[in-house]
Amino acid sequence: MTLHFPSSMPRFVRASVLSALTFTLIPACGEDTSSNPTTLSVTERQELNQRISELEAEVTRLEGQLAEQQQQQGATEQEKQALSTELGSLKQQLAEARELLASQDWDGVLVKLEAAQGEVERLKGVLAATDGALSLNAGLVFGSAPFALDQTFTTAGGDSLRFTELRYWLSNVKLRKQDGTKVALANSYHLLEVIKAQAVDGTSSPATLPANRREQVDMVAVPAGVYTGIEFSIGVDPTYNDDLSRQAGELHVLKNMTSSAWMWFTSYIFTKTKGQYVKVDGTSDTFAWETGTNADYRTVNLDFTAPVTVNSQKQVKVNLRADVAALFTSLSPRTTPTINASSATERATLSDGFKAMFSVVSVDNSNR
């Protein structure tokens, strides 16, 4: 019997289909053999052999899954140890089953296989309960229109704007549980941006940052659970912002999110908003707004429309709306064309704008 699975089917789904099949076949097998243990046909023997092979493959898959989780630091050291030990004893059981098969102790084989099968199911449950993934999409809009560079938008205050760059650090994503506790996701430093190709500051080599539009972050090793909301921050927390030698997530000095003007303050640039605006006299000029320093760190708290379940069987995608127009409710490029390290008040207002720009559109929590 060969099993064909579409390659798009997630690995653990394939695994569970396989084990379900195995599970239904084994009792049938057991009935056959108990009635006449000594006269097993060649086909039946092959079937048993096949069963062992399948379980071995299953164990290998579980090992892979475990290794992946260990890299992602999803479980505690003790949990990982325990799982490794259990997988080891499973392999031992299957090896013994093979020996029994060779010595034609059919009952022994079946007992081993059934025990192994139960163990595999249990382990799968354990792993599934700890392994989850989350996508966070912060779709950029300007009011009711999709956001794009080089396109004219009009603010509520009547300013006419065209953007050339928008970037911000989205960091420290946390999921909120029903009881109010929060689960922090590791290495959560993501640079979201809509930029044109640009030279890398601090390098004279021909290397450039390519034009890029990124509105989504994908996070793995998300602890399983039921969550009612999400929290994330705009900017970089003091632990990492105060020490530029620390590296986590996508934080790096060579991403044009630091500059000599900001190094005096020891801070990443948290956000960049740049473009052209139309002046009173009808000509246009550039505006360049930046935020940074610990004072500009802002945390956004959003409730989901309904609780979502994170585990390896469920897909979770949070769709946010990131309305750039919110940055211009209290600030205008006409009166404030430049916001930089030395404009503390304006930076605070702009940072509040970034905090206010996000809202939940939908949460997709379908089965994978």
Partner 1 sequence: MNRHTLRHAAWGLSTLLLGACGGGPEALPPGSSPEVLPVGFTFLPQPEDNPLTQEGVELGRWLFHAPRLSGNGQVSCATCHVQEHGFSDGVARSTAGVTQHPLSRHTPALVNLAWMEGLFWDGGAKNLESLSLAPLTQADEMGQADLEGMMAGLSADPDVVRRFEAAFGPGEPTLGKLLRGLAQYERTLVSARSRYDRWRRGEPGAFLTEQESRGLALVRQRCTPCHDSELFTDNAFHNNGLDERFGQGEDVSRGRGRVTLRDEDAGRYKTPTLRNVAVTAPYMHDGRFATLEAVLLHYRGGMVRSATLDGAFLREGQAPGVTLDDAEAEAVLAFLHALTDEAFLSDPSLGPPDAP
Q: Which residues bind partner 1 (CB under 8 A)?
A: 200, 202-205, 207, 242-247, 253-254, 258, 260-261, 263-266, 341-342, 344
27 phi and psi angles, rounded to 5 deg: -60, -40
Q: Closest CB to partner 1 among 171 and 258?
A: 258
**Cβ at position 257, least distance to partner 1 in Å:** 13
**Cβ at position 82, least distance to partner 1 in Å:** 19
264: tokens are 């005096």
User: Are the C-beta atoms of residues 277 and 337 closer than 8 Å to each other?
Assistant: yes
User: Are the C-beta atoms of residues 300 and 233 closer than 8 Å to each other?
Assistant: yes
**Cβ at position 109, least distance to partner 1 in Å:** 42
User: Are the C-beta atoms of residues 134 and 188 closer than 8 Å to each other?
Assistant: no
Provide the pairing of β-strand 269-278 with 284-292: antiparallel
Nearest to 123 by CA among 16, 21, 48, 24: 16
**Cβ at position 282, least distance to partner 1 in Å:** 29
Q: Closest CB to partner 1 among 113 and 341?
A: 341
**Cβ at position 202, least distance to partner 1 in Å:** 5
Q: Closest CB to partner 1 among 122 and 246?
A: 246
CA–CA separation, 38 and 47 (whole Å):
16
CA–CA separation, 73 and 104 (whole Å):
44
Q: Closest CB to partner 1 among 88 and 202?
A: 202
Nearest to 138 by CA among 169, 177, 181: 169
Nearest to 21 by CA among 95, 120, 96, 91: 120
Q: Closest CB to partner 1 among 130 and 258?
A: 258
CA–CA separation, 284 and 322 (whole Å):
26
Q: Closest CB to partner 1 among 65 and 172?
A: 172
**Cβ at position 91, least distance to partner 1 in Å:** 26
